[in-house]
């Protein structure tokens, strides 16, 4: 059985690991939220009755600028929400860049974990003994 390394517990508490993990979670959440916003925008477009409003403006029943301002305002909110999600992604990417070197150093330190090395050495010794037994019997 592979030993539970003290190092793996240290990794899960390492600020670089935690920073990168949180950033990845934030990026995924922002992508999901952005998709929801875009779906809402598409729904709004499908319900848009702009042609009727423009006809009424052309007939003088309403003001063209009012129609334009009203429609623009509807979508400005979508653009703002998408921009906010993009800002989250950019900030998360910056956090990943800031933590990358510390995380790379952490990965290097894991490679020399003594508990893992002993475990794999025992496996190699067992395989060598098995090979010797097969050679003696064969």
pLDDT the model gives residue 130: 62
Q: What CA–CA distance (Å, rounded) separates 10 from 24?
A: 20
72 falls within a domain: yes
Q: Kindly calculate the radius of gyration of the chain based on its CA atoms and give it in whole angstroms.
A: 30
Q: What is the pTM of this model?
A: 0.64
80 falls within a domain: yes
pLDDT the model gives residue 55: 86
pLDDT the model gives residue 108: 75
126 falls within a domain: no
Q: What CA–CA distance (Å, rounded) separates 9 from 11?
A: 5
120 falls within a domain: no
Domain count for the chain, please give it.
1
3 falls within a domain: no
Length of the chain: 138
The CB-based long-range contact list for 74-80 (8 Å cut-off, 24+ gap) reads 74/44, 75/41, 75/44, 78/37, 78/38, 78/40, 78/41, 78/44
pLDDT the model gives residue 35: 94
Q: Which residue ranges in the chain fall short of pLDDT 50? A: 1-2
117 falls within a domain: no
Q: What CA–CA distance (Å, rounded) separates 98 from 16?
A: 9
pLDDT the model gives residue 117: 65
pLDDT the model gives residue 1: 45
- The boundaries of the domain holding residue 75 are 8-112
Find the DSSP H helices in the chain: 6-13, 15-46, 50-58, 64-110, 114-137
pLDDT the model gives residue 79: 92
């Amino acid at each position: 059985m592979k030993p539970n390394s003290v190092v793996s517990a240290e990794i899960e508490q390492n600020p670089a690991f935690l920073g990168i993990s949180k950033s990845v979670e934030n990026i995924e959440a922002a992508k999901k939220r952005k998709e929801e916003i875009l779906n809402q925008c598409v729904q709004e477009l499908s319900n848009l009755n702009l042609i009727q409003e423009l006809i009424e403006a052309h007939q003088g029943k309403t003001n063209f600028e009012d129609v334009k301002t009203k429609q623009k305002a509807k979508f400005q909110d979508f653009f703002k929400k998408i921009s906010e999600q993009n800002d989250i992604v950019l900030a998360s990417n910056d956090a990943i860049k800031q933590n990358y070197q510390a995380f790379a150093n952490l990965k290097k330190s894991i490679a020399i974990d003594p508990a893992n090395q002993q475990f794999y050495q025992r496996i190699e010794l067992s395989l060598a003994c098995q090979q010797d037994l097969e050679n003696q019997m064969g």
